[in-house]
Copies of this chain bind each other. A is one copy, B any other.
């Protein structure tokens, strides 16, 4: 049996990136004519086909769901997986997890590998790099060949598939409204760069809440963290940025942070600056993390209901897998957020 060549192998053989191969195969103008020809010739020579999904699908059901997540050291994603597992196990499915590590290449490699006969469908959350590059061909190809995808949390409108999201905008709005109701006059937001859809939406919720309450947004109170600081290994740099925000703007009396790490770091910095929480500074995070509950003071958060999200994603996928002859119809299920009040707010 002749082996199929993969994107990864083409890339290695020609010493270019997977992204380049992918674009060259789609004749993207971003890639030089020379490289495009080289890649296309090579792919033809080795009989490259996007993947083997169509083949395997006709012959068998694996009763396995492939999950692709950006990161494993992350309570939110683990909780989603637990939710997926609960439903999957109940309905006789097994799950297997691939990690993109926020990398486009790894996302493509993992999908290619799993789609190659190991699984019946995907549940995934898109990597930051993919969102930044806006290259979604691997999703299109997978779906076009009949393998269903359900996206959760980090999704894109461009791709037509079932999605499970939290209402990031409304959730953030609720959080900021809570701070306003608690008497905060100068509310800062600690958020991500805009290309992470979740961060963008949460920032938007913050702005809408201010606007509807006739409070002028102040650009110096909006701190957008670069993704590089977004890990446990760069805590000190993150602390420095947040410290600057709080030192340069002593009037800040409320902080809305779009994730747990930012929120807890803000509390830590505030403690160092002798700002009393919640008396002088109130903090709300956006997360289901364990740290929030155990922190001192414990953190008021917008709960994302991660486990519920996973359950819903599994239901959507398995329903699709078991009702193949139905009309094509895609659903975007919105999980309602909820504010869990703890000690970091009045």
Within 8 A of B (CB), among A85-123: 85, 89, 94-99, 101, 106, 109-110, 113-114, 118
Q: For A295, list chain B residues within 8 Å (CB).
A: 294, 296
The smallest C-beta distance from A289 to any residue of chain B, in angstroms, reads: 9
Bound Cα distance from A295 to B75, whole angstroms: 16
B94 in contact with A106 (CB, 8 Å): yes
Interface readout for A294-321 with B: 1 if CB under 8 Å, 0 if not? 1110000000000000000000000000
Number of copies: 2
Q: Which of B3, B113, B291 contacts A64 (CB 8 A)?
A: B113
Bound Cα distance from A74 to B62, whole angstroms: 27
Interface size class of A (residues with CB under 8 A): 35 or more
Q: Which of B89, B97, B294 contacts A98 (CB 8 A)?
A: B97
- What are some 8 contacts across the A-B interface (CB < 8 A)? A62-B113, A73-B78, A89-B101, A94-B110, A232-B290, A291-B291, A294-B294, A296-B296
Known pairs A64-B113, A72-B82, A113-B118; list 19 more (Cβ under 8 Å). Answer: A1-B59, A3-B60, A72-B81, A72-B97, A73-B82, A78-B78, A81-B99, A85-B101, A89-B106, A94-B106, A95-B99, A96-B97, A96-B110, A96-B114, A97-B97, A232-B290, A290-B291, A294-B295, A295-B296
Interface residues of A (CB under 8 A from B): 1, 3, 59-60, 62, 64, 72-75, 78-79, 81-82, 85, 89, 94-99, 101, 106, 109-110, 113-114, 118, 232, 264, 290-291, 294-296
